[in-house]
Every structure is written in structure tokens, then in C-alpha cells.
Amino acid sequence: MTPLAIKGGSPLRRTPFPTYVTIGEEEKKAVMAVLDSKVLSDFLGTWSPQFFGGARVQQLEKEWCAYFRVKHSVSVNSATSGLYAAVGAAGVGPGDEVIVSPYTMSASAAAALVYGGIPVFADISPETFCLDPESVRRCVTPRTRAIIVVDIFGHPAAMDEIMTIAREHDLVVIEDAAQAPGAMYRGRYAGTLGHIGVFSLNYHKTIHCGEGGVIVTDDDSLAERLQLIRNHGETVVEAKGTVDLVNMIGFNYRMTEIEATIASEQLKKLESLLVPRIAAAAYLTRRLGKLPGLTPPVTQPQTRHGFYVYALRYDAAKTGVSRDKLVAALKAEGLPIFPGYVRPIYLQPAYQKRIALGRDGFPFNLADAKNPPSYQRGICPVTERMHEQELLYTNICHADIKEQDLEDFCAGFEKVFAQLHDLA
Ligand SMILES: *Cc1c(COP(=O)(O)O)cnc(C)c1O
């Protein structure tokens, strides 16, 4: 048997894995048409037809509504902007608590801070890595106003259970579906399951337009508030006749015509980009699932996983080799594999030092003095265990990966697992 690369043997794979390319002639042609029109954006921050943006922006929103079967789509310049707008539209104000997953991109929690809301971190499920409804329930207090649920890695969160909790306590649910366009849950699209859903169109996501996002909702009043926050609401409310001024100080979150037309083309490709992801994941699961200590990602019943990321769990007790040692050996074989995902958000300096807006600790200093949210290590033990000991992931589940790449990836795992005794 060839020795492990980490022990000086030759790596199993010497060439890089293919990168994911979704942009083709269709997008090029569409962009040229926008350039020929000379109108690169057609928004105005006044109560006028242009308040809703240009023809391509409105076209994209119409297509998004039809595709995802929602009443309203509001395009924005990023999912981060989308999450901020969603928290604003939900009416979150200074001192309100917002329950959020700690195992996600940082903007999911920063969105609360921007409106003076205080993020409260609930733990995740070790099966799906999404919020654990029981942990969410334990985090609800009289100050809770909203829940930000994340369909992490492309697997929809336990939305039925979360919506039940929300109904009981009159909370707004914002679904961060940045990683899950096209994923499904009990017959409905991920992103359309909460009161507001947010999709990302940044370069790294399943479909993209460079930078961009789309917010969806079935609620007329939330849609109106999202549009005002996107586009200088404070200058528009009077002429528009909006009476509820809460959080109607707007931003410029507007998408350009160029991004919108690219996004329209990308949406047409979504299904054909998703099917190969699911097939690649199935291949990996068939082979890697046979190795000791490895648990491939689960897809819950009546659910379609989007496989933005293929995340495995690893039990070092079964092999005697730590995850980080294992990952180092796999990397040495030339495999794109990573230990953990992002550090639990509450361990970031802003939370540890409770400094967000200004120098006096706002909004953390508004917390309930008797029961302030904790950001101490240990508050979300499952998240910490996944991050520090068990989770490893790869992003090779995509449409440009060939069978040979999957074969090499699995062969690299099999090579390392056959010689684990050398690593112990
Ligand atoms: C990428 C991502 C975002 C932010 O998306 P942008 O469009 O880059 O702002 C938010 N949440 C999650 C879970 C993401 O993966």
C-alpha cells in the first residue's frame, strides 16, 4: 500500500478539483442588453413608479414569486442587506431579543444588532446542524420578538416545530435560506416557510449574480416595509401614506439592472445546478458511509437537501485518531476537506466584549438585568462539539465535479482510513 502523503508518501490527487462555474453565454448576452440600454439602474428614492426599481429588477421579482410560489419578492444587493431589512420589517427594536443559530454566517446574528436587538443563541441539532426547536423554546422570554432560522448547508430547518413556537409566543420568523435555494421541506421551498425568507446571490452560492439577494414574504405589510427599508423609506413614507414609522429609516439596498438580469438567467438554471449536487452527495454518502466513525449528512424525510456544503460527522472514539489529525492527512492527499465550519458566533469579539454600536455596550446594555443572554463558552454544547471535534466538510458537491473527482475524493478517504494506525 502507498504510504500516506502526510508521512512522506505521494498524494493520491495531484491536480486541483474543478471550480464551480455557473455563468455562461446567456448571462453575457443579458448583460450586454442592459449595457446597450444604457440604464444600469432605474430606482428613485421617492414615491414614484421608480420606487420599485427598473424593468429587470421587477421582472426578476416576478419570476422569483412564480418559481418559489410566494406573493412578494423584494430584490436587494446582498442577503446581508436582506437579513437587515427583514429584522427591520419585523419591527425589532432596541432591547428586543432575537433567537438565532450560532452556527452560520455572521450576518444572521449581526442583523439583530443593527436594530438594537440582542441576539440570543439557541443550540443546533447534531443531525441537521440547524436550530434545535427544543433549544429555541428554552430561549424564549417575554422580550423575544423574532427567530432567525438558518437552512444551513442547504438542509431546511425544522420549520413546522419552529413555526409552532412562533405562533405560541407571537414571534416573527425570518428564514435565512442563503444556502438553500431549491431545497424543499414537506412540499414547499426552503425560504418560503417562515414569515420572511432571505436568499443570497453572492458569487459563492448555488446561483449568483456577483452580489445580490432576494427577500420573500406572503405578507403585504411586511413586503411594503421591506421595500421602504430597501430604498430610503424616511423620504417616502409621507407621500406613500405609510403611518407606522417603526424602523422606516431606509437604506440603499437596491439591486442594479445588471445583477437582476444575471439573476434571472441563473434562476432558470437552478434546478439543473441542484440535481448534480444531490447526485454527487449520494455518491459520497454511498462510499464514505462505509468508513468507521464517519456519519454522512442526513436528509430528513419529506425534505430535499440543497447540498451547498457536504458536512460529515466524525467520531474519533471509534478510530483513536482526532478529527484534526484526520483532516490534515486527507488534505495532504490533495482533498478539499475542512475541519469545523465557522466559529460559534457568540465567541466573536463583539459578543465576548459586548461592543457593537458605539462604545458603551449598546445594545447589550439594554439586556434584562435579571436574565441577560449569555455568550459564555458552553452555552451551545452541540455547536461547540460539532465545530471543535466532529464536523468536517467539503464543497465539491457541485455541477462541475466529474465522476473521476468523486472517485479520487473517496479513494483518498479510503487510503487514509486503511492506515489510521499510522496516525494514532
Ligand atoms: C452567504 C450567507 C449570507 C450572506 O449572504 P450575502 O449575499 O453574501 O450577504 C447569510 N447567511 C448565510 C447562511 C450565508 O451562507
CA atoms within 13 A on the CB side of 74: 32
113 in a structural domain: yes
Ligand 1 atom 8, closest CA: 202
343 in a structural domain: no
Q: Average pLDDT for residues 55-83, to the nearest whole number?
A: 98
Ligand 1 centre to CA of 108 (Å) is 8
204 in a structural domain: yes
pLDDT above 80 for 134: yes
Q: In this predicted model, what pLDDT tens digit does every residue of 412-422 receive, in sequence order? A: 999 999 999 99
217 in a structural domain: yes
Ligand 1 centre to CA of 238 (Å) is 33
Percent residues over pLDDT 70 in the chain:
100
Q: In this predicted model, what pLDDT tens digit does every residue of 320-367 receive, in sequence order? A: 999 999 999 999 999 999 999 999 999 999 999 999 999 999 999 999
pLDDT above 80 for 1: no
Question: In CATH, what number is assigned to the domain containing residue 110?
Answer: 3.40.640.10
- Beta strand ranges found along 32-138 (DSSP E): 72-76, 97-100, 118-121
Q: In this predicted model, what pLDDT tens digit does every residue of 241-293 receive, in sequence order? A: 999 999 999 999 999 999 999 999 999 999 999 999 999 999 999 999 999 99
Q: In this predicted model, what pLDDT tens digit does every residue of 154-169 receive, in sequence order? A: 999 999 999 999 999 9
324 in a structural domain: no
pLDDT above 90 for 424: no
383 in a structural domain: no
Q: In this predicted model, what pLDDT tens digit does every residue of 280-291 receive, in sequence order? A: 999 999 999 999
Give the SS3 label for residue 254: coil
- 9 C-beta neighbours (distance < 10 Å), count: 16
83 CA closest ligand 1 atom index: 10
Q: Which residues pair with 175 in a beta bridge?
A: 149, 197
Q: What are the pocket residues of ligand 1 if the criterion is a CB atom closer than 6 Å to any ligand atom?
A: 78-80, 104-105, 107-108, 150, 176, 178-179, 200, 202, 213
Whole domain around residue 111: which residue ranges? Answer: 25-266
pLDDT confidence of residue 124: 98
Q: In this predicted model, what pLDDT tens digit does every residue of 180-219 receive, in sequence order? A: 999 999 999 999 999 999 999 999 999 999 999 999 999 9
376 in a structural domain: no
Q: How many structural domains are present in the chain?
A: 1
289 in a structural domain: no
Ligand 1 centre to CA of 88 (Å) is 17
Ligand 1 centre to CA of 26 (Å) is 25
Give the span between the Cα atoms of 74 and 93, in whole angstroms.
22
Q: Which residue do the cell numbers 449574480 mark?
A: 209
pLDDT confidence of residue 120: 98
